[in-house]
Amino acid sequence: MTTVMIRHADARMAAIADKVERGERLTLEDGVYLYETDDLLTLGQLANLANLRKNGKKVYFIENMSLYFTNVCEAHCAFCNFRRDQGEDGSYTLSGQEMIDFVDQHIHPDVREFHIVGGHNTHVPFQYYVDSLRILNQTYPNVTLKAYTAAEIDFYTRISGLSIEEVLRQLMDAGLQSLTGGGAEILSDEYRKKMRVEKAGVDRYLEVHRTAHQLGMKTHTTMLYGAIESHEDRVSHMIKIRELQDETNGFLVFIPLSMQPKSPKASIKRRNSAYEDLKTIAISRLMLDNIQHIKAYFINIGTQLTQVALTFGASDVHGTIVKERISHAAGALTPEGLTRDELIWLIKGAGRIPVERDTFYNEVKVYE
């Protein structure tokens, strides 16, 4: 007997609710139906139930900094406003010392993680990317390096002639401890062709993470939604991630990323609705039964909707960040970062228990 109230005696929703209550895996068809229903509250109840079973009322965050060594990129993905060509106004490639100087100006003693991504810059060798991590690791040995996307790793194999495993081993020797989740976009070859995703394809993205997991690394994974993809594309994406997780158990968290328009002045019609954002977080929680955490990324959906998302299946609100650049280059209207006190306030305001974590979801401090 389901404990979730189903309105209008919706038989299909009731059947899905029964599956969730029994802990049964949802199908592609179930996921698509959940996108098409207008019963947002029941969907939220189901996702909340699934999350409470996994995480109770704990919601996680981390003291971290986002770093970007270069925005020069060979790819011209249709959705990206971060990239620049070499020599273009606003382009940059920082030396290791320049990055250290930047970090020294912004870091504080509680930072536990550097989140590092950047462009696919063909004007520097693979060794540059290795050395970038090494100098950070040597200068800040107590800060975890969560660096590079699967697409960046694939790019490094092309400019170095090394295999995925060889690239990862060199980066790990320099201090890499986890991969970021970016570069997934939508795991559909048709989507990637239409959106000019000029980087790692579907199989390659998955293979990079598979290899990292086989080397003992835990990683993160994302889905960038809100462009031309169908609801079926989104659910299929989740299932591909779920299947790899069944195989490796290497993903720590799934991060739905709400696509931003290319200008902060863009009409609200160019942005995902709050309704769509909440649905995607809730459906992610229900479809990805084998991943512990679903992240509500306040950079893309805003702080208040992030609060609401904590009762729609999310158990993580990311971190302090300090100064985010990629989503803000694409028109995000949200803060570039939050303080620890603001994150604690945000979580407590949703009736949840804030938990400061490290990169691997080990608990640092619980704020009862």
Does residue 281 contact residue 34 with C-beta atoms inside 8 Å?
no
Inform me whether the pLDDT recorded for 262 exceeds 80. Answer: no
For residue range 89-117, what is the model confidence (pLDDT) as tens digits? 989 999 999 999 999 998 988 999 999 99
State how far the alpha carbon of 235 is from the alpha carbons of 28, 35, 55, in Å: 6, 9, 23
- Give the pLDDT score at 324: 40
Does residue 165 contact residue 196 with C-beta atoms inside 8 Å?
no
User: Could you give the CA distance from residue 323 to residue 343 in angstroms, rounded to a whole number?
Assistant: 15
Strand, coil or helix: 155:
helix
For residue range 162-180, what is the model confidence (pLDDT) as tens digits? 999 999 999 999 999 999 9
Which pair of structure tokens corresponds to residue 120? 């696919």
User: Could you give the CA distance from residue 46 to residue 41 in angstroms, rounded to a whole number?
Assistant: 9
> How far from chain centre, in Å, is Cα 46?
22
Which pair of structure tokens corresponds to residue 176? 């890499």
- Give the pLDDT score at 173: 98
Tell me the domain boundaries of the chain.
28-366
For residue range 8-45, what is the model confidence (pLDDT) as tens digits? 558 999 999 999 999 999 999 999 999 999 999 999 99
For residue range 218-254, what is the model confidence (pLDDT) as tens digits? 999 999 999 899 999 999 999 999 999 999 999 999 9
For residue range 37-46, what is the model confidence (pLDDT) as tens digits? 999 999 999 9
**Comparison of pLDDT for 343 and 311, the residue scoring more:** 311
User: Could you give the CA distance from residue 84 to residue 121 in angstroms, rounded to a whole number?
Assistant: 10
Inform me whether the pLDDT recorded for 78 exceeds 90. Answer: no
- Give the pLDDT score at 259: 81
- Give the pLDDT score at 330: 42
- Give the pLDDT score at 249: 98
- Give the pLDDT score at 331: 42
**Banded pLDDT at 264 (limits 50, 70, 90):** low
| Region of poorest pLDDT, from 170-179, 267-276, 317-326 | 317-326
For residue range 328-368, what is the model confidence (pLDDT) as tens digits? 344 444 455 688 888 899 999 999 999 999 999 999 999 98
- Give the pLDDT score at 328: 39
Residue 206's nearest CA partner among 177, 260, 246 is: 246
User: Could you give the CA distance from residue 344 to residue 338 in angstroms, rounded to a whole number?
Assistant: 10
Going by the annotation, the residues of the binding site are: 73, 77, 80
Q: What's the CATH number for 28-366?
A: 3.20.20.70
For residue range 143-169, what is the model confidence (pLDDT) as tens digits? 999 999 999 999 999 999 999 999 999
User: Could you give the CA distance from residue 246 to residue 159 in angstroms, rounded to a whole number?
Assistant: 32
Question: Does an H or E element contain 309, and which?
Answer: helix 303-309
Going by the annotation, the residues of the binding site for [4Fe-4S] cluster are: 73, 77, 80
Q: Mean pLDDT of all residues in the chain?
A: 90
Strand, coil or helix: 119:
coil
| Close Cβ partners of 320 (under 8 Å, ≥ 6 residues apart) | 61, 62, 63, 64, 65, 111, 337, 338, 339, 340, 343
